[in-house]
Chain A
């Protein structure tokens, strides 16, 4: 059986923006691992191929170990095609069996199990053609398929998923170094310090309410307190952080201040004081000192998030923080509103006031309004510098992908810039 992961252009992709602007949805994290890790573990697949929006195929293909957007992967074996939004924990379909397809109310394929012998009567020229012919030919699967609908679903599920993932991995103990004096609350069985990880003296690991996993080569500086459930990624550094429960911090991050029930994808810095709660932060983000997000409204009503610059979406939750896209930088003292959407490649120079709830990708927030700022060229220069500091390269393919994202996000940015100009002119 070959697992085919799909994240095809659809009306729902923007539900995972700004994080999914530059990566497939299955690369998003929940708990200790990504959504694809969970789908692969669930289906026990070893032969995997994937289909992503064409504009990100080259960049994704440069690091993926799977064939990307390669239609030849659609022949020669039984296929289990699974949409990136499918929840692995609730996915109980046998990997092989009679061919069948499940679609959502909008006709989007959630999964298709296609027996090798049925492939001959389907169109395998492309993934779109395959799914269209499968919808027309195969029998409909019975039962509901649980899916992730929005990015904040991942944030809200994170604490529970951390606990499940820790139990599934079945590791505990100290393979790295924990220097004395140490302070451990709860059971030692609920803590794992991986090889190469270094926990300095005077660190509190509180596993009383959930497990704590400190991954390889992570470093935890003195006076940090980590409440479980928590995952600290490879080579990440916590700098006297007040790490409340429910955090997933990806690899190579620098995190200080107070962080609660948040996901940081990786390679991002929140070095200084300031509160980050119920947030999802992309890669190569830098949150300036005292950057703080609200994750709870004063009236305790459910939080609304604007994903397209226009229509607020009720999250149904009273606790939702910020969604912050890749390569975004905030200045010192940035105050992010409850349920704020801060796009990718945004430069925030704050005025000390609460920011608007929606900042479009590639926007420069200057003097209290969204402007064109210094353009995308300057943002690319900064991205190149930031990546170079971690010995990674900003490639021509990345620039091409981001140019496409610049185009995709142009309508909402243009509207915000016009609004900003009018506001500036009125002052």
Chain B
């Protein structure tokens, strides 16, 4: 089974039309990966769908890079009792 990190990268690649190999934890979604504001919203929605979780939109959209997204989603999964 894929790890949280692998799944976050896969979703990011799919939404932003990138190769998974192009995405690193330190990459900032907007400036490094080219996410436009609407794609940020789409990313939040797709992470929720991928992991079966509900994220607070203000908190989720304040996450800037891929590594922090992995950490944030891991915490949300734990808080909501979702096995990931």
Contact = CB atoms under 8 A, between A and B. Distances in A.
Interface in B20-49: 37-38, 41-42, 44-46, 48-49
Interface string A356-370: 000000001011010
Contacts of A367: 38, 42
Contacts of B46: 421, 424-425
A-B pairs with lowest CB-CB distance, top 8: A375-B57, A372-B57, A421-B49, A421-B45, A375-B58, A425-B49, A371-B41, A371-B45
A169 B10 CA distance: 67
A424 B57 contact: no
Interface string A412-424: 0000010011101
Interface of B: 37-38, 41-42, 44-46, 48-50, 56-58, 61
Nearest to B50: A425
Nearest to B49: A421
Contacts, number: 41
Interface of A: 349, 364, 366-367, 369, 371-375, 377, 417, 420-422, 424-425
A373 to B, nearest CB: 5
B66 to A, nearest CB: 19
B58 A377 contact: yes
B49 A375 contact: no
Contacts of B41: 364, 366, 371-374
7 contacts: A369-B45, A371-B42, A371-B45, A372-B45, A374-B41, A421-B45, A425-B50
A399 B44 CA distance: 25
A420 B58 CA distance: 19
B27 to A, nearest CB: 21
A267 B41 CA distance: 29
B75 to A, nearest CB: 18
B57 A374 contact: yes
Contacts of B57: 372-375
B42 A424 contact: yes
B47 to A, nearest CB: 10
